[in-house]
Amino acid sequence: MTNKNVFARFFIKVRFFITLLLSMAGYVPKHATKIRTIAMLSSLSLFLYLTSYYPNSFKIAALYYLISEILYIGFITLVLRKDGYRHWFIKKMGGEQKGYLVYEGVLGFLFFNNAASIGYVVSSTPGNLFHFVNKELLLAIVAILFITGFIVKIWAAKVVSIDIYYWKDMFLGRKISEFVVTGPYKYFSHPMYGIGQLQAYAVAIFYGSVYGLITAVLNQCLIFSFYYAVERKFIRRIYKKKTSKYIKEV
């Protein structure tokens, strides 16, 4: 294989990885529009503004988090349930694909702000929660938690695809791919909802933030609540026998 081919393959892998990261953060490059780009840049600007000019404002951070969390969990719950507003999106936008693209754009915006608000709470409320732990040991624990969570979440998203990451199957109300039991799903029932959330805990531990840990726990509890209240019903209804083992394990 020539150096040119090696470089080309490497470039393709890097581009895929960056695209995956951006998509998971809330900006799906293949569906990029001016409105989505403006919304994402505005969200990023808001986050940078708050952390720069109000770096220690717990009240603003808490308000940002609560609004972001309510909108995020409320949106996916109201839209993705069996009789949810997904039908309105499809009808209003004139078809499944157009309806999904609008829904995906809104959800991406909420994805970003949900994660940004947790980060803002953490950075605005530093403390000495783990002062009794050796500094080198603490850094090692933080690194292990962050890297593990990051790798598992990326791996899980790659295995199921970005469409499933955005719950496209639930939005359409039907199966768009086979039920995944490979990759991290071979070992864990919910790698993205479980181990994939470790980054938030790692950052909160690094900052010694009590409120950071609380927001991380609350966020994880709410996403699992969505799973048990809405998503699991869809899985049982659509994937049926193929999920019998999966359902028993949760």
Q: Which pLDDT band, with edges at 50, 70 and 90, does 250 fall under?
A: very low
CA nearest to 69, candidates 123, 125, 32, 120? 120
Give the 3-state secondary structure of 30-90.
HHCCHHHHHHHHHHHHHHHHHHHHCCCCHHHHHHHHHHHHHHHHHHHHHHHCCCCCHHHHH
- Give the tens place of pLDDT for each residue, 146-160: 999 999 999 999 999
Q: Which pLDDT band, with edges at 50, 70 and 90, does 243 fall under?
A: low
- Give the tens place of pLDDT for each residue, 32-53: 999 999 999 999 999 999 999 9
Question: 60 or 2: which carries more pLDDT confidence?
Answer: 60
Segment 135-151 shows an average pLDDT of: 96
Residue 235 has pLDDT above 50, yes or no: yes
Question: 141 or 4: which carries more pLDDT confidence?
Answer: 141
The pLDDT of residue 111 is 97
Of 59-63, 89-93, 95-99, 244-248, the poorest mean pLDDT is in 244-248
d(CA 158, CA 170): 18
Segment 75-79 shows an average pLDDT of: 98
Of 138-147, 159-168, 176-185, the poorest mean pLDDT is in 176-185
Residue 142 has pLDDT above 50, yes or no: yes
The pLDDT of residue 231 is 96
Alpha helices in 128-249 (DSSP H): 135-160, 162-165, 168-172, 198-207, 210-226, 232-238, 244-249
Q: Which residue has the tokens 């809330």?
A: 26
Q: Mean pLDDT score of the chain, rounded to an integer?
A: 93
The pLDDT of residue 131 is 87
- Give the tens place of pLDDT for each residue, 211-234: 999 999 999 999 999 999 999 999
